[in-house]
Chains A and B, each alone.
Chain A
Amino acid sequence: MTAPTQLTQLNATDLAARLAARDVSAREVVDTYLDRIAAVDGVVAEGEVWSAKPADALSPDEPHAYLAVTAAAARAHADDIDARRTAGVELGPLAGVPLALKDVLTMRGAPTTCGSRMLEGWVPPYDATVTERLRAADVVVLGKTNMDEFAMGSSTENSAFGATRNPWDLDRVPGGSSGGSAAAVAGLLAPLAIGTDTGGSIRQPAALTGLVGAKPTYGTMSRYGLVAFASSLDQAGPFARTVEDAARLQAATWGHDPRDATSVPGAVPDLLSGLTDGVAGMRIGVVRELQGEGYEPGVEAVFAAALDRLSDLGAEIVEVSLPHAAYGLPAYYLIAPSEASSNLARFDGVRYGLRVDAATAEEMNAATRAAGFGPEVKRRIMIGTHALSSGYYDAYYLQASKVRTLIAEDFRAAFDDVDALVSPTSPSVAFRLGDKTADPMAMYLNDVATVPASLAGIPALSLPAGLAPAPDDDASALPVGLQVMAPLKRDEVMYRLGYALEQATGFAALPTGPRAVTTQEVS
């Protein structure tokens, strides 16, 4: 019998092994996690689907990773897995491992809110492909995680249901927009999570919470059932405590989907067979434009040490230039809002979600959208509407699209020379709640290192490279992420590099510090 504390500290691969050996049942694992969620996360543990407490009732000690916990369904799924295992049915490699699902992916029987009042109470009539594949892999969904409204944000403070807190320091943000998924895995509230990444929304929170997070090659993770923010950029991906766990979760969920017209046809590479092959002889490019000004010294120091480690492992480190990378952020903040302005037009009060009644259809649309969307969403709808307007289209949307093509060409040229590229994932460690909410530009700069890969569609992964103090607290020690970028459809390369560095770094994923979420077992 494994003690509960140890159980929630196990990574997914080890947990799956215990489950397969029948050391522990899927039901025991689920119950252990549900108990911990009920004890620390700030949910009302009642009924089949537990809800998070209202924002004003949350305590500063509660991470608020989950918006809804599908307790009854999770227990039922776990019992079903146990029954099949007992009957001798062969199960998948992650069978019985729990997972937290970002609230932007649809799942029957549970609300999907996208962190917005607009969709409060909406229960989708269908499962996302990712949700279906998780179910097919017998990964047990524990619940839906908090996020910046419609995935727009870098701190999870834009959720209409209250901010999520960083398990390393509950006064700091977990990053965003997939901050709830990151906090769930870092806070030992789930061993795995699925997030979505449009401009860095998996990688940046992974970096700020000491996790591995990956954005697969665009088109390899089905977007069917992923409520769109920016369709040409959105991609779901894994959060995990180890590189191997992340690779296993991606392997269980990716691959062609006929329901997504942008899905890449054909087979996807094997992420696991070459995972431990190491980096000896690998040429790794350091992106000149993704370092220096704007990056915290602590981040740069950890990054430099990681490069030394890679060099020690036999990799050749070279500097590489992506000449147009500097234009990535402005291009991203035109393309993504443009697509969002159209994608979010369907929230009009007619078919689902919020409706604010008014005398005419137009007034009802306007009143619903005024009440349902938060300020950041409105800001981006307005930017996007403007960028697509006749007379401005060429100067904004079209110009940004050209920059996007140039950035993709920069990457292609770079990958002619090197096997993979690296950079810090985020220019900063986790910042304090409220620090950047008044300054949208400061918030957008969080994405400076992650948007180039998004625009090019290439796979990218963040893994913890060490700890650094925050600029506002010399005594603090917060995680720093290193980003690995690989050529299109070569996701296995980033995992291989990440695995080698992870083994050499020996990073312990558990949050520490005076304001870390308690890792003590709850009585």
Chain B
Amino acid sequence: MPESTWLPEGWELVVGLEVHVELHTTTKMWCGCGTEFGDDPNTNVCPVCTGQPGALPVPNARAIEDATLLGLAIGGSVAERCWFHRKNYFYPDLAKNYQISQYDVPLIHDGHLDVEVELSDGSVQTRRVGIERLHMEEDTGKSLHVGDTGRLHGADRSLIDYNRCGIPLLEIVSHPDIRDPETAQAYLRELQAIVRAVDVSDARMDQGSIRCDANVSVRRPGEPLGTRTEIKNLNSVRSLGRAIAFEATRQVAVLEDGGTIRMETRHWDEGRGVTETLRVKESVTDYRYFPDPDLVAVTSPPAQVEAVRARLPELPAQTRARLLAAGVAREQAVALVGSDALRVFDDAVAAGADAVAAARWLTGDVAGQLAAAELELSDSGLTGAHVAELIALIDDGTLSTKLARQVVAGVIESRGAHTPAAVAKAQGLEQVSDEGELRGIVEQVVADNARTVEDIRGGNEKAIGALVGQVMKATRGQADPRTTNELLRELIG
């Protein structure tokens, strides 16, 4: 049953998702140009990807293999023979004015994802979302419209960067099996996690290497599907959920008001939290698909498919199960799976760290500090060995939790050049737990706070905290709290 109860009684939400994944192959789909994100405009281009007259596409074998790997990871079947078709339409950033895509026979058909949705009572439910197809195509260039609205219409001039043109792109189309925003979000997160696990794409929504459009309609339960709208510009998992919820509510309001839903493409405005008409699909666009005569059939004999299947790594569902079995909290397990942190986690555990502690650090403080610094884990220099060392320093009493946070900051600040032990030493952050050294400080504090000592002796146990605070102040926070407590109690008697 749907978890969301926000739709008015008697309405059902129906959602299907189209997800585009840019493969992170070294070279483009049809030529040898590089695929690096963020390079200067029109530096990764050649006659092929800029559609020069006479240039021809040659398929990137690695991209086809990566697409096959992902297809197997989502439980799909591989077509023994499939073709590339041309999708014909005019747009300035589409160099050939047709996109090489797939049409009647996609590389992959009939997959599914089992996604876990947490219900409001805290329980977790697994839902299956069917996947109709995964097909291969090529990305377009990027247009930059200068002046006026910033959109194509009314711009003073348009600049085009063809660096992205021809980067291998996969389109993954789900069945309209989704009935609530949470499942849509879980599907997108799970797909992102799988893409990262099989390592075919960075799958970063902020860089556009994974993009999601949502087809949304509402109906009375049991009735045929309603007219759908397609929502674009969904830049995060969060906006996917918000946009679906808004759009469903909007559609129900229109229908309850006696109106009709138009088949249209709508733009999600993140700032205002609304969807707006982008273009109305008065008739289905005729793309005049036909088999690309520059290319031959892609053949995937069973033996070749099995060789790819043998390369499948541990998939997110399996990883989650493994983490839960190791005692990691569900929320942390979910956060780790499909993020860069999983590799660091596994390395930390391999280096001897306790799994529960490593998961807690990586999903807690480390994640928080990286977010505050707007830094990716992969760019931070923090390794599994660092995490293991940090936890060891805490376990042997060298670092308090509080000091450990400062050590993490130091390691990140050095981009991994300094180990936790080196940071602790250089910044003088080791705890003072040596009894001899600490005893003198505690004795001084006891002597200086005779009134408080009397209070404690009089039965006000809580007042001991004030003395601990004084010791900490005197040691600039480096006193081991446990040893300090023991010494205070001994001296006060």
Cβ-defined contact, A338 with B290, below 8 A = yes
Task: Tell me how far the C-beta of A370 lies from the nearest C-beta in chain B, rounded to whole angstroms.
Answer: 14
Q: How many B residues, CB 8 Å from partner?
A: 32
- Whether a CB of chain A sits under 8 angstroms from the CB of B55 is yes
Interface check B119, CB cutoff 8 A:
no
CA distance A259 to B56 in the complex (A): 7
B157 to chain A, nearest CB (A): 10
User: Please, which residues of chain B bring their CB within 8 A of the CB of A346?
Assistant: 51, 53, 95-97
Shortest distance between the CB of B462 and any CB in chain A (Å): 74
A262: CB under 8 A from chain B? yes
| Chain B proximity of A134: nearest CB distance (Å) | 15
- Convert B85-111 into 0s and 1s, putting 1 for each residue whose CB lies closer than 8 angstroms to a CB of A: 010101010011110000000000000
A10 touches B (CB below 8 Å): no
Task: Name the prevailing secondary structure of the A interface residues.
Answer: loop
B293 & A393 in contact (Cβ 8 Å cutoff): no
Contact for A352 among B52, B57, B86, B96, CB less than 8 A: B52
Taking CB atoms, residues of chain B closer than 8 Å to A342 are 86, 88, 98, 288, 290
Chain B: which residue is nearest A384 at the CB level?
B288
Stretch among A35-43, A59-67, A169-177, A357-365 lining the B interface = A357-365
Interface membership of B59, Cβ < 8 A: yes
For B92, what are the chain A residues with a Cβ–Cβ distance below 8 Å?
A: 348, 350, 361
Please tell me if the beta carbons of A232 and B293 are within 8 angstroms of each other in the complex: yes
Chain B residue with minimal CB distance to A364? B92
The answer to whether B293 touches A230 (Cβ under 8 A) is yes
Measured CB to CB, the nearest residue on chain A to B284 is: A390
Assuming the A-B contacts A345-B90, A351-B95, are A227 and B296 also in contact, with contact meaning beta carbons closer than 8 angstroms in the complex?
A: no
Q: Which residue of B lies closest to A361 (CB)?
A: B92
Question: A231, B53: Cβ atoms under 8 Å?
Answer: no
Q: Which residues of A contact B355 (CB under 8 A)?
A: none
Which A residues are in CB contact (< 8 Å) with B440? Answer: none
The answer to whether A262 and B294 touch across the interface, beta carbons within 8 angstroms, is yes
Q: Is B456 an interface residue (CB 8 A)?
A: no
Q: Which residues of A contact B152 (CB under 8 A)?
A: 360-361
Q: Is A97 located at the chain interface by the 8 A CB criterion? A: no
Q: How far is the CB of B260 from chain A (nearest CB, A)?
A: 25
Are A362 and B90 in contact (CB-based, < 8 A)? yes
Interface assignment of B295: CB less than 8 Å from any CB of chain A: yes
Please state if A106 and B53 are interface contacts (CB–CB under 8 Å). Answer: yes
| A112 at interface, CB cutoff 8 A | yes
State whether the Cβ of A261 lies closer than 8 Å to any Cβ in chain B.
yes
Q: Whose C-beta in chain B lies nearest to the C-beta of A365?
A: B90
Complex Cα distance A227/B52, Å? 9
* Interface residues in A285-336 (C-beta closer than 8 Å to B): none
* A355 shortest CB reach to chain B, Å: 12
Contacts of A388 in B (CB 8 A): 88, 288-290
Nearest neighbor of A397 in chain B, beta-carbon distance = B290
* Chain B residues whose C-beta falls within 8 Å of the C-beta of A362 in the assembled complex: 90
Is A393 in contact with B56, judged by CB distance below 8 angstroms?
Answer: no
User: A350 and B160: CB pair below 8 A?
Assistant: yes
Determine which of B50, B53, B284 lies in contact with A227 in the assembled complex, contact meaning CB atoms within 8 Å.
B53
Given contacts A230-B293, A342-B98, A397-B290, contact A351 B59 (CB under 8 A): no
Measured between alpha carbons, how far is A342 from B293 in the docked complex, in Å? 10
Contact A124–B296 (Cβ < 8 Å): no
With a cutoff of 8 Å between Cβ atoms, the chain A residues found around residue B38 in the complex are: none
Chain B's closest residue to A339 (CB) is B293
Contact B54 A128 (CB under 8 A): yes
Query: Nearest chain A CB to B136's CB is how many angstroms away?
Result: 14
**Contact A258–B58 (Cβ < 8 Å):** yes
Q: Which of B152-199 contact A (CB under 8 A)?
A: 152-153, 158, 160
CB-CB under 8 A for A261 and B58, given A125-B47, A342-B86, A390-B288: yes
At the interface, yes or no: B437 with Cβ under 8 Å from chain A?
A: no
Partner of A390, one of B50, B98, B286: B286
Contact A124 B54 (CB under 8 A): yes
Judge whether B53 and A122 touch: CB under 8 Å: yes
Contact status B95-A262, CB under 8 Å: no
- State which of B54, B59, B284 has its C-beta within 8 Å of the C-beta of A225: B54
The residue that B52 contacts in the complex, of A124, A232, A360, with Cβ under 8 A, is A124
Q: Please, could you name 16 A-B residue pairs with CB atoms under 8 Å apart, sorted by A?
A: A106-B54, A112-B54, A124-B47, A223-B294, A224-B55, A226-B54, A228-B53, A258-B58, A262-B294, A342-B290, A345-B97, A361-B158, A362-B90, A388-B289, A388-B290, A397-B290
Q: Which 7 pairs between the two chains have the least Cβ-Cβ distance?
A: A345-B97, A232-B293, A231-B293, A388-B288, A227-B53, A225-B54, A227-B54
Question: A259-B58, A260-B58 are known contacts; what are 19 more A-B pairs with Cβ within 8 Å?
Answer: A105-B54, A126-B47, A128-B54, A225-B55, A226-B54, A227-B53, A231-B294, A232-B293, A258-B58, A261-B59, A262-B295, A338-B290, A345-B88, A346-B95, A348-B92, A350-B160, A351-B51, A352-B52, A390-B288
